[in-house]
Amino acid sequence: MKHRTFYVLTIALLFHTLGFSQTEGMVFIKGNRYIPLYGRDSTVVEVKDFEMDIFPVTNSQFLEFVKQYPKWQKSNALKLFTDKSYLSNWENDFELKSSEKPDSPVTYVSWFAAKAYCECQGKRLPTVDEWEYVAMADENTRDARIKPDYNKQILAWYEAPRTNENSIGQLPKNIWGIYDLHGLVWEWTLDFNSVLITGESRKDVDKDSNLFCGSAAVNATDLMNYAAFMRYAIRGSLKAKYSIKNLGFRCVKDINK
Amino acid sequence: MKPLKLNIILVLLALTFSACNSKKNNQETVLYQCPMHCESDKTYTDAGHCPICKMDLQSLEPSTSKTENTHSIPEESIFNLTSDWNTEEGEQIQLRDLKGKTLVMVMIYTSCKAACPRLVADMHNIEAKIPDDKMDQLNFALISIDPETDTPERLKAFAIENYMDEPQWTFLQGTESGVREFANVLAVKYKQISPIDFSHSNIISVFNSQGELIHQQEGLGVDNKETVASILKQLK
């Protein structure tokens, strides 16, 4: 009898440790040091281990969220946190327009709404560095940025119209097991407002003309990575209350050790 | 009446705005209270009479105070933010505690060598143009974008060093996410570029007494005529 209890306990413990590391719907991302397009002064940034949502948050998931948290419903959301286009592809608080699919990535959400969604799941938005770290992988390499095909494919996706209306999970997953970082929508990041792309970093960046100016590109570490440059430029032009047609999000989670 | 009202509003606000606690509050127990507040804020769960003045107890309906609360904080007000802040005096506050005065805000960090001294000078220049007898209607707030380094003690030292220790000056230390959120409300961009240095946009923002943004001055050492005019318009 004693023996048996011990046996059961061991099994239980084993399963416990197995189940520990992976949250449902997320995969483990092993951290590392890498050079993003725009880094800190030392250019190399360090990303710690974390978990990331396999898919972007969908319309139907966001619907569940607003049912639970009425303050984020289309008609209730405060103007401080959202602009006029918040959920403008929804018919009302609880229904999508007939043209929209439940398993398309949710878009027309502000940074505040995205942040609240993640926090209410015990998660958070990824930092720019974390997002870019996972997004530089392709199907079989963790850093595919040197492959000409990698950039070409992403740029081809950027050119394709109305990709925000597609369903999630249709394109191949990357080596981490993550889908749709490229190909459907842009995604909010926690510190998107850390992107100061100007020639002179202490100058303000509210003017669009500063975004694409040559001096900004010269500071970038990899002039070939035009796709990444576009992403940083978009981030630099966003404000947190904006809700945009092709801007969605996904969440990440710190690893608690 | 006042402290009670404030308490109710604060509790309701905490319920309404705290990010994740806003699941429907199903248990709406009605509380009763003496209209004369004979026992200050004491509440009863049953209707009846006040044991002191014998008046009928009044019910405190959450719904009525709720409309009052949404009414008192406009939708676009920064007082809707629920983040916690420490002042240079070591007090813990939320932004809505600054309600009632015109607010002039800027984001800085104390170890900053380049832009911040000039932003501080810009704040001083604005302050200098406000008549002394109106100063009590104003709050100048300097918010640190480096909450890890800028402790209340450090902010206090910075205040003394820069002649900003009078009551109209407030320095705030937040949490990393609170600061990020607040910067996003102001559309201020910043990034830590080394352990001691940040790049940041230079914006001075003016809010009315309800916490609504009414003016932003961008850039360093710019003409503050419009900013001052927008502040003076708020003052009685």
Angle between helices A111-120 and B176-186 (to 10 degrees): 160
The residues that bridge with A240 in the sheet, in sequence order, are: none
- Of all residues in chain B, the one with the smallest CA distance to A201 is B199
Between chains, do A78 and B24 touch, taking CB under 8 Å as contact? no
Asked if A136 contacts A145 with a C-beta cutoff of 8 angstroms, the reply is yes
Nearest partner of B144 among B178, B121, B114, judged by Cα? B178
Annotated binding site of B for Cu cation: 112, 116, 200
Q: How many Å separate Cα A113 from the centre of its chain? A: 14
Q: Which of residues 144-203 of A touch B (CB under 8 A)?
A: 190-191, 193-196, 201-203
Q: What is the pLDDT of residues A4-41, one digit of tens each?
A: 665 655 555 555 544 455 788 999 999 999 988 776 55
Name the token pair of A162. 């109305």
Least confident range from A1-10, A61-70, A132-141, B40-49: namely A1-10
Nearest partner of B73 among B91, B92, B95, B93, judged by Cα? B95
Asked if A105 contacts A168 with a C-beta cutoff of 8 angstroms, the reply is yes
Q: Which of residues 115-134 of B touch A (CB under 8 A)?
A: 115
Instruction: Enumerate the H helices of B170-223 as residue ranges.
Output: 176-186
Alpha-carbon Rg of chain A, whole angstroms? 20
Q: How many inter-chain contacts (A to B, CB under 8 Å) are there?
A: 91
Nearest partner of B163 among B114, B128, B197, B112, judged by Cα? B128
**B191 contact partners, CB below 8 Å, separation of at least 6:** A40, A191, A194, A195, A196, B198, B199, B200
Other Cβ atoms within 10 Å of B101 Cβ, number? 19
As separate numbers, helices (DSSP H) first and strands (DSSP E) second, chain B gives: 6, 11
Residues B7, B61: Cα–Cα separation, whole Å: 14
Q: What does the pLDDT average to over A152-176? A: 90
Task: For this complex, say whether ipTM is above 0.90.
Answer: no
**A12 contact partners, CB below 8 Å, separation of at least 6:** none
Instruction: Enumerate the H helices of chain A as residue ranges.
Output: 2-20, 59-68, 111-120, 128-135, 148-159, 208-211, 214-219, 226-237
Nearest CB to B189 within list A78, A116, A205: A205
Q: By percentage, how much of chain A surpasses pLDDT 70?
A: 79
Q: Would you tell me which CATH number, out of the four given (3.40.640.10, 3.30.420.40, 3.90.1580.10, 3.30.200.100), belongs to the domain A25-254?
A: 3.90.1580.10
Between chains, do B203 and A204 touch, taking CB under 8 Å as contact? yes
3-class SS string, B144-170: ECCCCCCCHHHHHHHHHHCCCCCCCEE
Nearest CB to A120 within list B20, B194, B219: B20
Instruction: Enumerate the H helices of chain B as residue ranges.
Output: 2-17, 62-72, 115-128, 152-161, 176-186, 225-234
pTM, full prediction: 0.75
Please state, rounded to an integer, the average pLDDT across all residues of chain A.
83
- Of all residues in chain A, the one with the smallest CA distance to B113 is A202
Domain ranges of chain B: 2-9+25-72, 79-234
Q: CB of B16 within 8 Å of any CB in chain A? A: yes
- Of all residues in chain A, the one with the smallest CA distance to B189 is A193
Q: CB of B203 within 8 Å of any CB in chain A? A: yes
Residues A155, A175: Cα–Cα separation, whole Å: 20
Between chains, do B187 and A111 touch, taking CB under 8 Å as contact? no
Q: What is the pLDDT along chain B (236 residues), one digit of tens a residue?
A: 455 565 655 554 454 444 454 444 444 466 777 767 667 667 777 777 777 777 777 776 544 443 444 457 898 999 999 999 999 999 999 999 999 999 999 999 888 877 778 889 999 999 999 999 999 999 999 999 999 999 999 999 999 999 999 999 999 999 999 999 999 998 888 877 777 777 777 889 999 999 999 999 888 878 889 999 999 999 88
Q: By percentage, how much of chain A surpasses pLDDT 90?
A: 57
pLDDT score at A136? 93
Asked if B68 contacts B9 with a C-beta cutoff of 8 angstroms, the reply is yes
Name the token pair of A256. 């608690």
Band of the pLDDT at A93, cuts 50, 70, 90? Answer: very high
Residues A89, A58: Cα–Cα separation, whole Å: 13
Fold of B79-234: Glutaredoxin (3.40.30)
Name the token pair of A189. 């990041």
